[in-house]
């Protein structure tokens, strides 16, 4: 077990993200709940993880599955009670598992008491907790758009003002310029710290310093002042782990969020490696492996000694990685392991998203069966704009957020053992083959591969401390890199194709120990999606 009284303990840790609604239902209403998480703590302990990032469990009208909070100090009754939450923290703690809560500080629900007061009158003491601008019904303050479609301004006729929402109209943005609001948030955070929560994941923290009048959302001029104040007033304990979600982060700004001096957050979730082949168009062609490798090199070297990164390929907003960069057919198991080794060999703190350790895959549903508001709004907007339904569906199949939100597959029993009732979102039909029970019965499963990766990170300091060197940067099929400290040397080789490639062992690694591979014996070549992790001491 890690010594969590050491202030950088999380540098050797591995976290696991639980999306409560989809993890385990215990009262058969089709919705996952807190007792369901408690029920599987032994499973998570067996995997070897040190902490759980829990997606929001607060009271919420669930317009965005809890990312719309109506009371930050209570638990959504659908998921359980405060007693269940206390029990989860306690039971997890007994197993060496720290609970990290999701903090949505950029916006609340429109049903939060603060917002109800704020919109009741311009003179309400809480009016200024949100962002208001004058206007008439047809003249919004400007043409900014919301991330989930439609305008970013919604009119409240009773007071003749618009409020700003970066996301949906049900998620009004909090006004961080107001020091009273900020203090209110810090007090709320202390409530959870005092309950024994070990840290926080900060939702869209890069936009809290927005200035809508200048159309600035990311990286507002006071952003880092706010984060430093948060650190001083709310995250007082040096051992708390804090991770900021920042889609806009680049290497230079990540050094601020995740500064080595601890003045802001422990680490950052940045997405550059996942945006290479999306509409961001850093590189528009397929999976640009060469760009991906250079992206990782830039981050691994750029933050070395100056900041700390997180390592992840999936979360509740992203498609399943084996469907995206691997092969979710014939080579599902091989490619899922390869992607895991590629990620876990690097410097940073790994996060595993529920089901990733099973190689769960994307899903294709008829449009009516999707739940996510982003998917629904996107479908409506593109339909209105004249896109062909087939093209819209293709893009939902590839990127839609519900790909990652289908219920956890525990067994081959009905509803995958997730629930006895019809789940809120369909189970992926491949649950009969891909499930926890099958994984635990098979010593060569993806689950046990992750278990080994987690153990290796604890065993060898090179995973935490080693420098990063990219080998053969221009090779379009194989991703190989080394990690080095004075005494320890690690080589990670990953074949990203279903072709057999020549082996690329650097001379120094001939005769090195194989720590891990996804094929039983080396063959002198790299088979489809083969990965090897070699180790030596000098
Ligand atoms: O996500 C931030 C965010 O920008 C996402 O909307 C992302 O761009 C999109 O999902 C990609 O498809 C966070 C949460 O992780 C997400 O679940 C919430 O919906 C969002 O904030 C609002 O709180
Ligand atoms: Ca339930």
> What atom of ligand 1 comes closest to residue 317's alpha carbon?
10
> What atom of ligand 1 comes closest to residue 67's alpha carbon?
23
213 is catalytic: no
Closest ligand relative to 63 C-alpha: 1
What are the counts of helices (DSSP H) followed by strands (DSSP E) for the chain?
15, 20
Q: In the prediction, which pLDDT does 84 show?
A: 98
- Torsions phi, psi for 202 (to 5 deg): -100, 110
Query: How many angstroms does the Cα of residue 29 sit away from the middle of ligand 2?
Result: 5
Q: Is the pLDDT of residue 195 over 60?
A: yes
Q: Roughly what angle, to the nearest 10 degrees, separates helices 82-94 and 179-195?
A: 60
Q: Is 19 in the pocket of ligand 1 (CB under 6 A)?
A: no
For a substitution probing ligand 1, which of 54, 58, 67 has the most ligand atoms within 8 Å of its CB?
A: 67
Separation between Cα atoms, residue 405 and residue 212, nearest integer Å: 32
68 is catalytic: no
Structure confidence by residue, pLDDT tens digits, 91-137: 999 999 999 999 999 999 999 999 999 999 999 999 999 999 999 99
Separation between Cα atoms, residue 273 and residue 174, nearest integer Å: 30
Catalytic residue among 203, 264, 272, 277: 203
Q: Is the pLDDT of residue 142 over 90?
A: yes
Q: In the prediction, which pLDDT does 284 show?
A: 45
Q: Do 415 and 423 meet the contact criterion of CB atoms below 8 Å apart? A: yes
- For residue 19, the Cα-to-chain-centroid distance in whole angstroms is 10
Query: How many angstroms does the Cα of residue 247 sit away from the middle of ligand 1?
Result: 9
Q: Which residue is closest in CA terms to ligand 1's atom 14?
A: 203
Q: In the prediction, which pLDDT does 286 show?
A: 55
- Across the strands, what pairs with 307? 259
Q: Do 361 and 430 meet the contact criterion of CB atoms below 8 Å apart? A: yes
Q: Is the pLDDT of residue 479 over 50?
A: yes
Structure confidence by residue, pLDDT tens digits, 214-245: 999 999 999 999 999 999 999 999 999 999 99
- For residue 450, the Cα-to-chain-centroid distance in whole angstroms is 17
Structure confidence by residue, pLDDT tens digits, 8-61: 999 999 999 999 999 999 999 999 999 999 999 999 999 999 999 999 999 999
Q: In the prediction, which pLDDT does 1 show?
A: 80
> What atom of ligand 1 comes closest to residue 315's alpha carbon?
15
Query: How many angstroms does the Cα of residue 301 sit away from the middle of ligand 1?
Result: 28
What is the band of 74 on the pLDDT scale with cuts at 50, 70, 90? Answer: very high
Closest ligand relative to 407 C-alpha: 2
Q: In the prediction, which pLDDT does 285 show?
A: 45
Q: In the prediction, which pLDDT does 83 show?
A: 98
Q: Is 387 in the pocket of ligand 1 (CB under 6 A)?
A: no
Q: What percent of the chain has pLDDT over 90?
A: 96
Q: Is 334 in the pocket of ligand 1 (CB under 6 A)?
A: no
Query: How many angstroms does the Cα of residue 3 sit away from the middle of ligand 1?
Result: 33
Residues 287-305 have a mean pLDDT of 93
Q: What percent of the chain has pLDDT over 70?
A: 98
What is the value of pTM for the model shown? 0.97
Q: In the prediction, which pLDDT does 277 show?
A: 66
Q: Is 167 in the pocket of ligand 1 (CB under 6 A)?
A: yes
- Collapse the DSSP code of 421 into the 3-class scheme (helix H, G, I; strand E, B; otherwise coil) and give the result: coil
| Domains, the chain | 9-106+179-369+410-451 (3.20.20.80), 113-164 (3.90.400.10), 465-537 (2.60.40.1180)
Q: Do 322 and 361 meet the contact criterion of CB atoms below 8 Å apart? A: yes
């Amino acid at each position: 077990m890690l010594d969590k009284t050491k202030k950088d303990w999380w540098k050797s840790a591995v976290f696991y993200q639980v999306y409560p609604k989809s993890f385990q239902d215990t009262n058969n209403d089709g919705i996952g709940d807190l007792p369901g998480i408690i029920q599987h703590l032994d499973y998570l302990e067996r995997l070897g993880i040190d902490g759980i990032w829990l997606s929001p469990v607060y009271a919420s009208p669930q317009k965005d599955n809890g990312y719309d909070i109506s009371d930050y100090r209570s638990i959504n009754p659908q998921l359980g009670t405060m007693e269940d939450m206390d029990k989860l923290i306690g039971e997890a703690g007994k197993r060496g598992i720290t609970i990290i809560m999701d903090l949505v500080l950029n916006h609340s629900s429109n049903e939060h008491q603060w917002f109800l007061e704020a919109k009741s009158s311009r003179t309400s003491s809480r009016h200024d907790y949100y962002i208001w601008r004058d206007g008439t019904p047809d003249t919004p303050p400007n043409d900014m758009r919301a991330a989930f479609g439609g305008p970013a301004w919604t009119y409240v006729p009773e007071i003749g003002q618009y409020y700003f929402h970066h996301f949906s109209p049900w998620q009004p943005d909090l006004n961080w310029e107001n020091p009273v609001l900020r203090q209110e948030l810090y007090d709320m955070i202390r409530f959870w710290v005092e309950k024994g929560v070990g840290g926080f994941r900060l939702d869209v923290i890069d936009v809290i310093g927005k200035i809508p009048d200048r159309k600035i959302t990311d990286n507002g001029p006071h952003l880092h002042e706010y984060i430093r104040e948060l650190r001083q007033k709310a995250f007082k304990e040096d051992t708390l782990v804090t991770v900021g979600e920042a889609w806009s982060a680049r290497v230079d700004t990540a050094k601020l969020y995740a500064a080595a001096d601890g003045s802001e957050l422990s680490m950052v979730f940045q997405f550059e490696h996942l945006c290479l082949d999306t509409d961001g168009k850093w590189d528009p062609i397929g999976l640009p492996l060469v760009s991906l490798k250079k992206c990782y090199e830039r981050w691994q070297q750029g933050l070395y000694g100056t900041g700390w990164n997180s390592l992840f390929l999936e979360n509740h907003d992203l498609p399943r990685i084996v469907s995206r960069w691997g092969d979710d057919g014939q080579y599902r198991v091989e490619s899922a392991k390869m992607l895991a080794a590629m990620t876990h060999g690097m410097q940073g703190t790994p996060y595993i998203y529920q089901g990733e350790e099973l190689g769960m895959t994307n899903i294709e549903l008829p449009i009516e069966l999707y739940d996510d508001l982003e998917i629904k709004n996107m479908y409506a907007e593109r339909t209105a704009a004249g896109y062909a339904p087939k093209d819209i569906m293709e893009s939902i199949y590839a990127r839609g957020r519900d790909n990652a939100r289908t219920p956890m597959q525990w067994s081959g029993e009905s509803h995958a053992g997730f629930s006895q009732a019809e789940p809120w979102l369909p189970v992926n039909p491949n649950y009969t083959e891909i499930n926890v029970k099958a994984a635990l019965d098979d010593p060569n499963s993806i689950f046990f591969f992750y278990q080994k990766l987690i153990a290796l990170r604890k065993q060898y300091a090179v995973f935490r401390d080693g420098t990063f060197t990219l080998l053969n940067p221009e090779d379009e099929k194989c991703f190989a890199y080394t990690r080095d400290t004075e005494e320890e040397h690690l080589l990670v080789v990953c074949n990203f194709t279903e072709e057999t490639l020549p082996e690329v062992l650097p001379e120094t690694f001939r005769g090195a120990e194989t720590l891990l591979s996804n094929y039983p014996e080396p063959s002198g070549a790299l088979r489809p999606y083969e990965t090897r992790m070699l180790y030596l001491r000098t």
